[in-house]
Amino acid sequence: LGRGSVQFMTAGTGVRHSEHNLSEDKPLRFIQTWITPSRNNLPPNYGSSVGDEAMRWKNQWQHLVSSVDNKGTEATVQINQDCNAYSSELEMGKTINVPVSEGRMAYMIALEGSVKVGDVVLERHDAAEITPLSSGGNGVLDVTSVAVEKAEHGKDVAHVLLFEMQHVPGAGRGDL
């Protein structure tokens, strides 16, 4: 799997699993995220998606993961939870919006470069929880790249990963 790809697994009733880098000369970087399924005793499931490379560089969100119950989505990976995952690579100074609807929250990770989220700057490997209050009540928060890094594809970008889910009051970190 390459840059921007998603690999998923439902352990369900039990699986054996290991991860390793098959390349002897290239480093491997990945984000591993555990999302609790909405119900128990699901059958084991495994798959991957390479994403849409053309969309990845266009200063917009690429919808990577959605719920199996969301029939109106274009995400290629669907999971058994009310959760969406998006990725974006932003050129220097570019801005995109994070809509945070009432009853929803988000968790953002700066993978490369730095972004300003509202009034907070997230530098490489920083993360923040975003709630409806973060947007000042208007439901939208701006994300602007303020520093970029040369990524392995040769482009200078700020790369962010966003998980959007149901807001559970009192849960999470409460950063933003």
Residues 163-173 have pLDDT tens digits of: 999 887 777 66
User: Does the reported pTM lie above 0.85?
Assistant: yes
Q: Coil, strand, or helix at residue 148?
A: coil
- Give the model's pLDDT for residue 51: 66
- Give the model's pLDDT for residue 169: 76
Exposure string over 27-51, b if 16+ CB within 10 A, otherwise e: eeeeeeeebeeeeeeeeeeeeebeb
Mean of pLDDT values over 71-93: 89
**In Å, how far from its chain's centre is CA 130?**
13
